[in-house]
């Protein structure tokens, strides 16, 4: 295919490292993690940021793993500021203290997005797999307030914490967050291994949706609430990442450029590396970005569907995780021949236990 390039990407997700002190059972990083020795250095990230700005990117999301596992994080943030990118640090907060946060703010950091596993300490530490983690997160949130940086709270929700959604909303208000992301787990990668322990019931989902609807109205002007629902109760798929290769570009710790952060889970791809090609070249011409871009690749019933340029075929990673073929219609669509797989998953989860298979991350160096 030689498709015309889409408009410039809206954002760049820079995955600085796969190292992380948490062991979240819903981790979205690939099963095979990049080692620290393979990570791009700060100077290379600076070049990537300049190329992103020239391409038209405005927003930069610094993620991981845990980006604060990198001692050169202030240098990386400074590169982003010099490139003119709005930088958002996506962090667990447990490796950051007031001094490190001040250094990041001085380097030009614009925004902090803090993840929490629950509103209740015992449950939060159990889910994250780190004793004392929740208390450290709360202390870090106070430091963000003191530094006068905008704060978004990200709450990944599932069967084992969804009933405390009202408390999570209260926590966002208490911590001074301007935005709360209520993000249901998406089931691919490591999360797929724990689906039976994480997938909420329909009753939980409906109650959560009612809670979010009421809170949005009651807290209008005080707290913005984003709500990402699970696909397992859907009849139409979401436009994952705004469509494959249409809105976002992600770069892995080792430099692989991806249409979405989870795309490394898909076999049969040779994702280009920013060490070998510019972002502009990758975005416009790489086969990996063009493979599922647009609509010409779509099978039926997608190709003839009136929604094809709204959902762009849904999630390729989910299609692969559930059917074994990334080119299949996303099973979240009621018209998919594989839609019944979602019903089977919901049935299995209803009778499953609550035990997790934790993700064991690479060891964080003591000086990080």
Residues making up the binding site for [4Fe-4S] cluster: 20, 24, 27
Measured distance CA(81)–CA(351) in Å, rounded: 50
Q: Cβ neighbours of residue 301 under 8 Å, at least 6 residues apart?
A: 329, 333, 335, 336
On the CB side of 287, CA atoms within 13 Å amount to 4
DSSP 53: H
Residues making up the binding site: 20, 24, 27
Helix (H) or strand (E) holding 89: strand 86-91
Angle at 11 between CA 10 and CA 13, to 5 degrees: 160
CB atoms near residue 277 (< 10 Å): 15
| Residue indicated by tokens 């997790």 | 356
Whether 175 and 153 have beta carbons less than 8 Å apart is answered as yes
Long-range contacts of 118-127 (CB under 8 A, 24+ apart): 118/161, 118/164, 118/168, 119/161, 119/164, 119/167, 119/168, 119/170, 119/171, 120/164, 120/167, 123/160, 123/161, 123/164, 127/24, 127/25, 127/160, 127/161, 127/356
Helix (H) or strand (E) holding 145: helix 133-146
Nearest to 86 by CA among 14, 190, 189, 6: 14
């Amino acid at each position: 295919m030689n498709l015309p390039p889409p408009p410039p990407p809206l954002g760049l997700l820079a995955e600085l490292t796969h190292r992380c002190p948490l062991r979240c059972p819903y981790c979205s990083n690939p099963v095979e993690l990049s080692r620290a020795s393979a990570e791009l250095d700060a100077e290379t990230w600076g070049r990537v940021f300049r190329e992103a700005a020239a391409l038209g990117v405005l927003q930069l999301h610094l993620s991981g793993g845990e980006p604060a596992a990198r001692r050169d994080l202030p240098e990386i943030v400074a590169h982003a500021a010099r490139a003119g990118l709005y930088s958002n640090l996506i962090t667990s907060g447990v490796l950051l203290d007031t001094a490190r946060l001040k250094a990041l703010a001085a380097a030009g950091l614009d925004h902090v997005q803090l993840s929490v596993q629950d509103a209740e300490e015992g449950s939060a530490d159990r889910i994250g797999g780190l004793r004392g983690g929740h208390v450290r997160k709360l202390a870090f949130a106070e430091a963000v307030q003191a530094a006068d940086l905008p704060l978004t709270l990200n709450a990944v929700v599932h069967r084992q914490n969804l009933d405390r959604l009202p408390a999570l909303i209260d926590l966002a208000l208490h911590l001074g967050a301007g935005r709360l992301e209520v993000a249901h787990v998406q089931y691919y990668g490591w999360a797929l291994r724990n689906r039976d322990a994480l997938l909420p019931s329909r009753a939980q989902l409906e109650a959560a949706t009612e809670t979010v609807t009421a809170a949005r109205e009651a807290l209008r002007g005080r707290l913005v609430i984003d709500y990402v629902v699970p696909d397992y109760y859907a009849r139409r798929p979401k436009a994952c990442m705004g469509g494959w290769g249409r809105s976002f570009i992600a770069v892995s710790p080792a430099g692989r450029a991806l249409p979405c952060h989870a795309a490394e889970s898909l076999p049969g791809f040779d994702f280009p590396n920013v060490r070998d090609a510019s972002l502009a070249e990758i975005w416009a011409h790489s086969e990996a970005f063009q493979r599922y871009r647009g609509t010409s690749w779509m099978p039926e019933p997608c190709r003839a569907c009136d929604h094809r340029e709204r959902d762009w075929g849904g999630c390729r990673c989910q299609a692969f995780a559930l059917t074994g073929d990334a080119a299949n219609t996303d099973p979240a669509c009621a018209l998919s021949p594989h839609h019944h797989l979602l019903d089977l998953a919901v049935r299995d989860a209803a009778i499953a236990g609550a035990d997790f298979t934790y993700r064991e991350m690479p060891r964080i160096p003591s000086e990080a």
